Homo-oligomer: A and B are copies of this chain.
């Protein structure tokens, strides 16, 4: 006898990227920041008094919410603190998408979305991207025809790094009848000269929710801290009903506030990643590997005709370099490579040259 709900028994779990715990591996597989978190985070950790842990944390992480609200020019009522961005994604389904209702996303997209839909017993509709990975022209018509309750768009897109303009996001929020979730996990790596910013749209749209995470831009994947930005009416049920009452811990709250308060340091790491992205993109192209321009901290690179991307992934792994291979339509001939430090990128390139020469 199994006690699982039928939808849980039938589903497969999310397969996270490999996380070897040794320091020797060159990890270019899960889009971590190659640079450590801010010295202010290190100081906050050193100064944290473990004796205070005997008490419950602030249930709503108000210190963090104040820092986040100030950073974005919003109020704390707009800010939902979560245990990583993944928790916010789950909470969105729990709060807004009932069993049997439809949640839409693009194909391909972040591979966690289908898993979360399966857990909730929701129907996942994946809308094909165009050949150039742009959104189809009739996206909004498709969403409304599906009767989708929510649409989740990762922007910049994973795994391509393509950025959808804020005007397009506004158009979706304006004409789609459901909830629009913009997963901005990689937003910090967008080139500043694009002046891309969806946060001002929150004042106009009550059905728009923006996800942020400290995992990538703030070098804190190990801390598990993310947050949502939304109108107070949209944020309230997540904040006060569906969120576990103490979903973030006292140390994480403190360190997350320190990280977000340390903008100069963080934006310097983003700039370095962007420079490395430009260099790595040029080198991959120079090797003859078709590589999409990216506004994120990874590149999606097509292996040469007749070369198995999976085999290259495995050969890189043998050399202690991890990249991400997706066994999915349109991706089987490609590898997703996180931007590492300059020396990591050089070691990747040397290994790739060696592997592809033979």
Binds B, one of A73-81, A163-171, A215-223, A282-290: A215-223
Are B84 and A246 closer than 8 Å at their CB atoms?
A: yes
A91-124 Cβ-contact flags toward B at 8 Å (1 or 0): 0001111110000000000001001000101000
Taken together as a complex, chains A and B put the C-alpha atoms of A220 and B242 apart, in Å, by: 23
Q: How near does chain B come to A139, taking the closest CB pair, in angstroms?
A: 19
- A residues 1-26 in Cβ contact with B at 8 Å: 2-9, 11-14, 16-17, 19, 21
Chain B residue nearest to A177 (CB atoms) is B1
Q: Is A358 engaged at the interface, CB distance under 8 Å to the other chain? A: no
Q: How near does chain B come to A248, taking the closest CB pair, in angstroms?
A: 7
**A4, A115, A119, A248: most-surrounded residue (chain B CB, <10 A):** A4
Number of copies: 2
Are A54 and B37 closer than 8 Å at their CB atoms?
A: yes
Are B5 and A222 closer than 8 Å at their CB atoms?
A: no
Interface size class of A (residues with CB under 8 A): 35 or more
Chain B residues whose CB sits within 8 angstroms of the CB of A222 once the complex forms? 52-57, 249-251
**A53, A58, A121: most-surrounded residue (chain B CB, <10 A):** A53
Are A244 and B9 closer than 8 Å at their CB atoms?
A: no
A233-256 Cβ-contact flags toward B at 8 Å (1 or 0): 110010011101111111110010
Chain B residues whose CB sits within 8 angstroms of the CB of A119 once the complex forms? 94, 241-242
Taken together as a complex, chains A and B put the C-alpha atoms of A255 and B240 apart, in Å, by: 29
Are A36 and B16 closer than 8 Å at their CB atoms?
A: no
Are A55 and B32 closer than 8 Å at their CB atoms?
A: yes
Q: How near does chain B come to A116, taking the closest CB pair, in angstroms?
A: 9
Taken together as a complex, chains A and B put the C-alpha atoms of A41 and B250 apart, in Å, by: 14
Give which listed residue, B5, B13, B178, B249, contacts A224 with CB less than 8 A. Answer: B249
Give which listed residue, B46, B86, B121, B249, contacts A244 with CB less than 8 A. Answer: B86
- A residues 31-50 in Cβ contact with B at 8 Å: 32-37, 41-42, 45-46, 48, 50
Q: Is A207 engaged at the interface, CB distance under 8 Å to the other chain? A: yes
Taken together as a complex, chains A and B put the C-alpha atoms of A252 and B112 apart, in Å, by: 23
Q: Is A173 engaged at the interface, CB distance under 8 Å to the other chain? A: no
Chain B residue nearest to A240 (CB atoms) is B13
Are A241 and B13 closer than 8 Å at their CB atoms?
A: yes
Chain B residue nearest to A220 (CB atoms) is B53
**A5, A14, A51, A121: most-surrounded residue (chain B CB, <10 A):** A5
Question: Which 3 residue pairs spanning A and B have beta carbons closest together?
Answer: A222-B250, A36-B51, A53-B222
**A-B residue pairs in contact (CB < 8 Å), sample of 29:** A2-B233, A3-B96, A3-B178, A4-B96, A5-B95, A7-B98, A8-B242, A12-B241, A16-B59, A17-B56, A19-B59, A36-B54, A37-B51, A45-B48, A53-B222, A53-B255, A55-B221, A55-B222, A56-B215, A57-B222, A83-B247, A86-B245, A86-B246, A87-B247, A98-B99, A99-B121, A223-B251, A224-B248, A251-B252
A residues in contact (CB < 8 Å) with B: 2-9, 11-14, 16-17, 19, 21, 27, 30, 32-37, 41-42, 45-46, 48, 50-59, 83-84, 86-87, 90, 94-99, 112, 115, 119, 121, 149, 178-179, 207, 215, 219-224, 233-234, 237, 240-242, 244-252, 255
